[in-house]
Amino acid sequence: MNTELFGVFGDRADFERLRSPSSFDCVVEGSRITVGIRDVGFGIPGRTDVHAGDDGLCVLWGEASLPEETTTPARRMLERAIAAGPDALADVNGSHLAVVDTGREAYVATDQARTWDCFYTDAPGVRVFGSDAFEIARTVSDPTVRRDSLLEFLHLGVVLGNSTLVDELRRVPFDGRLRADGTETFDRFAYRPTEFDHVEQLAVRLERALKRRARLPGRKGLLLSAGYDSRAFLAGPTDVDESYTVSRQGARESEAAARIAEQYDSEHVAFEADGDYLTTDFETVRYGNGIRESIHVHHAAYADRMGADAMYHGLLFDTFLRGHFLPRDGVEVWGYRLPRSRLATDFDPARRLVTDKFGFVSLSDHATGFDVGVESEAFARDALDREFDRLDGRYDSPHNGCAVVGIANQPTLSFRTHLADHFLESFPAADAELLDWHLRTPPERRNTRTFRRALERIDDDVLRHRPPDRPHDSKALNEIEQFVRARTPLLSDFENAWPDRRREYDRADLDEKLFRDRPDLQDLPVRLKLRINDVQTWLGRLERDTDPEPLEILSPPAERFRLRSV
């Protein structure tokens, strides 16, 4: 990848047995760790920084800044870590990985929301870690597919917890750190609701988060929808040269986004799906790291046509600022569930995440040839129940439990991994002040109404152009209108913001491309077929590169998922 961190708990000779130093911008060695980095943002203020000297080693990789302005954040962080230990890492703001070697101890740490995964394994003679799961998995001499991870991926589109598709490959825990002989967790990400002016504080903190990221060099781009999240960049202190919208052909989404861009004097480019929207090759699948489905990389087919050097996006604004994973109350009308604005009060947390928030697909309902062992929804609920148990100390209520389990197992991060590999990518949702707002704001206040009011504090004209699928301020009224439209002749439904994956799948003739020799799989749901391709593509390339004995899926029939050569 163009953007990567790779390291070993060992010396430079251990590193060079596995990777060539010439493929990195910088390779540095401490007393216990050697690490290489590659990043277009290396040396830019607020981005990747390295310090290596007689006092030790510190690498801050990604978006990483300290509260005070300093030209040497890695050196300053090493000083703090020597004085105060790993808890000093709480001072680092942004989406990053931190590598610290003080001489007395050495470790790799995630940011508090694990917006970058760090994968690790024990290669012969040395523990290996890095941001690219594929590169770490290649060091495993005889990888074995983990059956439960495979089932989680096929059911939910994400591998849960700290696991991956490969049994020997693990992830540093959520809000955690990796040592040469184990892992530990911090307690930075824990809910502590308090009362304050949530709207005003969100507006102030959002402006500061955007201002911290407004000085990126080169031509600045924005992935712009007609919704609320991305327009914050245009209304705020960032200077966006060009905005990009990916949508279905002739979509009102693109038309509305163009009006928003024009309102703020940003050039607008629309990419309409025309058969190239679904990208299923290894180069795109790789960004899911074998733990997330590639369908979330909506822009993959169009990145080469985007003329920006730096790229902004609103990923996870809905999660951190608008309560995406919070279960909301609803009422059943003629088989249709109309949501209410208030939170649900009587619910099964794991079941609500399965049915409402993750992209659940039942294997039990389809002839996949794979023996789940139990009914599919029960399997998925049990898997998520284990996540609630694992993260138990971080939440104070079932609502916040749903939030942290969703955040710790966020299925959409393949979107930003791809962006970060192609542009100087900025991720303001991971700003420390916004995360603090999220953790301190009661769940009933983390909603779209609060977010909209905060946007209007920044610019009272920001909502001039309404999203096509949200003509009303009330979510309930929007849902009611959609309900009426869906059941009234001559009225069209609200458009989905994204292209229709079923239509795009058929337009690209992917059954012929992916499953020509497997007609028994062609009747499966499109999303399940895409997940099967993700699994087979990632594992198939790994098998070819590591050249072990054939990969063994731990439940027969293994060949059901060896769908094509890669």
Asked if residue 255 belongs to a domain, the reply is yes
Cross-strand bridge partners of residue 270: 245
Same domain, 420 and 543: no
CB 166 within 8 A of CB 545: no
Residue among 238, 205, 204 at smallest CA distance from 224: 238
Condensed to tens digits (0 to 9), the pLDDT of residues 416-457 reads: 999 999 999 999 999 999 999 999 999 999 999 999 999 999
Same domain, 256 and 215: yes
Same domain, 17 and 161: yes
Same domain, 92 and 115: yes
Same domain, 381 and 418: no
Cβ contacts of residue 547 below 8 Å, gap of 6+?
none
Query: Which of 185, 213, 245 lies at the terminal end of a domain, its last residue?
Result: 185
Asked if residue 496 belongs to a domain, the reply is yes
Please tell me the total count of domains within the chain.
Answer: 4
Same domain, 491 and 540: no
Pairwise CA distance, residues 228 & 214, whole Å: 19
Write out the H or E segment, with its range, that includes residue 146: none
Pairwise CA distance, residues 133 & 118, whole Å: 8
Predicted pLDDT at 553: 42
Q: How many Cα neighbours within 13 Å face the side chain of 35?
A: 31
Same domain, 211 and 285: yes
Condensed to tens digits (0 to 9), the pLDDT of residues 93-131 reads: 999 999 999 999 999 999 999 999 999 999 889 999 999
Asked if residue 333 belongs to a domain, the reply is no
Same domain, 357 and 443: no
Pairwise CA distance, residues 387 & 161, whole Å: 7
Reported pTM:
0.92
Whether residue 339 is preceded by a cis peptide bond, meaning omega within 30 degrees of 0, is: no
Q: Tokens at residue 464, please?
A: 């001039």
Q: Tokens at residue 305, please?
A: 């046509």
Query: Which of 128, 158, 185 lies at the terminal end of a domain, its last residue?
Result: 185
DSSP state at residue 356: I
Predicted pLDDT at 493: 62
Asked if residue 191 belongs to a domain, the reply is no
Ramachandran category for residue 162: left, alpha or beta (phi over 0 → left; psi -120 to 50 → alpha): alpha
Query: Which of 501, 519, 536 lies at the terminal end of a domain, its last residue?
Result: 501
Asked if residue 192 belongs to a domain, the reply is no
CB 39 within 8 A of CB 25: yes
Same domain, 450 and 422: yes
Give pLDDT < 70 ranges for the chain.
Answer: 330-340, 367, 369, 469, 471-472, 474-487, 489-495, 546-566
- CATH of residue 494's domain is 3.40.50.620
Residue among 445, 433, 449 at smallest CA distance from 194: 445
Same domain, 138 and 257: no
Asked if residue 337 belongs to a domain, the reply is no
Asked if residue 329 belongs to a domain, the reply is no
| Enclosing domain of residue 491 | 198-322+410-501
Cβ contacts of residue 105 below 8 Å, gap of 6+?
32, 179
Same domain, 291 and 372: no
- CATH of residue 96's domain is 3.60.20.10
Instruction: Tell me the Cα Rg of the chain.
Output: 23
Same domain, 396 and 446: no
Q: Tokens at residue 227, please?
A: 């919704």
CB 360 within 8 A of CB 351: no
Distance set, CA 359 to CA 356, 362, 408, 498, 525 (Å): 8, 10, 16, 15, 12
Predicted pLDDT at 557: 35
Asked if residue 21 belongs to a domain, the reply is yes
Secondary structure string (H, E, C) spanning 168-236? CCEECCCCEEEECCEEEECCCCCCCCCCCCHHHHHHHHHHHHHHHCCCCCCCEEEECCCCCCCHHHHHC
